[in-house]
Structure 1
Amino acid sequence: MSQTVGVLYIWWRGQQYECVDGSTIKLPGWKNNTQVTGGSVQRYQSFAAGEVKCTPVLKKGMSLDAFDTGVEGELQVKSTVGHAWVLPDAYILEKPTLSDMGGKAAITFNAGLYQEVISS
């Protein structure tokens, strides 16, 4: 039986953060756009930023300010099946809002570069 991705783990600027279920990753790259011209359809390409959405849990002693929008850094995303993605130029779109329901702080990262590592 094949194993599928169960959980994504993140490391932001060298610090590991545990996240609640529901994290997503979309790799940066070229995308197709549609241009309608009269009675026909054309396409053109543009570059789309990569996106990682996750909700880390802040524990006692952790700083919410670690998710500063003023810095770029390395974001690592690892899965339970051995896949990993390193995004060296990641940045946070906006400061997270901290919830009192378990210390959740939803974050969206963007990046333009990535390297994928697949272990067997």
Structure 2
Amino acid sequence: MAQTLGIIRLFWRGKQYDVVKGVKFRIPGIKNDNVNGNFRALRSTQYQVGEVQATIIPTVDTSPTEFSPSLGEDELQLQADTGKSWAIADAYVMDQPEFSDDGKAQVKWSFNTYQEISS
């Protein structure tokens, strides 16, 4: 039976964060765009940046400043329970995340390069 993604571990700047199930990611690459003509659509391509969206569970040793967009690029790693990992060397946080009293903070990273590793 084939296995699907079940658990993803997330490491940002070398520190592991607990995350809520539902981490989303998209690798960078070419995407198609529709160009509408009179009676048909044509296709053009453009570059689409990679993206990771995760809801972290901050603990007492987590500071909101760890996710400041002003810190610039750094390493983000995703490790799946299937044995695959993605090492992203140039990830950067898009917006300062909002920390809430329900114990969660949604963080969104963008990136251009990655390496997929299978164990």
TM-score interval, smaller chain: over 0.9
Q: Which residue of 2 aligns with 1:97?
A: 98
SS of residue matched to 2:65 = helix
Cα offset, 1:37, TM superposition:
1.8
Whole-Å separation in 2 of the counterparts to 1:44 and 1:115: 27
Q: Which residue of 2 aligns with 1:81?
A: 82
- RMSD over aligned CA atoms reads 1.1
Q: Does 1:35 align with 2:35?
A: yes
SS of residue matched to 1:58 = coil
Gaps of 5+ in 1: none
SS of residue matched to 1:106 = strand
Q: Which residue of 1 aligns with 2:19?
A: 19
SS of residue matched to 2:74 = strand
Q: Which residue of 2 aligns with 1:59?
A: 59
Gaps of 5+ in 2: none
Number of corresponding residues: 118
Cα offset, 1:39, TM superposition:
2.1
Cα offset, 1:35, TM superposition:
0.6
Q: 1:56-96 deviations in whole A, cap 9, x for unaligned? A: 11111221210010121111111111111111111111011
Q: Which amino acid aligns with 1:86?
A: A
TM-score (norm 2): 0.93
